[in-house]
Amino acid sequence: MNTTVMIDRVHDQARELRPLRVLLTILAAPFFVLGFLVRAVFAIVWVALTWCWAATVVGWQAGKRNEDR
């Protein structure tokens, strides 16, 4: 591809940028990342808690079965 064509394409793309939108995107990005991370941590904690609860119930039932013998 010709270098001049590439430069023209970059120039066209740069001309289309709106400064306010770029600024708002930069300001919103940390909140987006924070929300993404909080959701991921919440999902991991939720899976861990439900797994622990299920293990407790299974252990309780197994202990109760041994008690009945």
Average pLDDT, the chain: 92
**Of 33, 9, 29, nearest to 21 (Cα)?**
29
More confident residue, 42 or 6: 42
pTM for the full model?
A: 0.60
Domain extent for 41:
3-68
User: Would the pLDDT of 62 be above 90?
Assistant: yes
The one-letter amino acid code at 50 reads T
Number of domains in the chain: 1
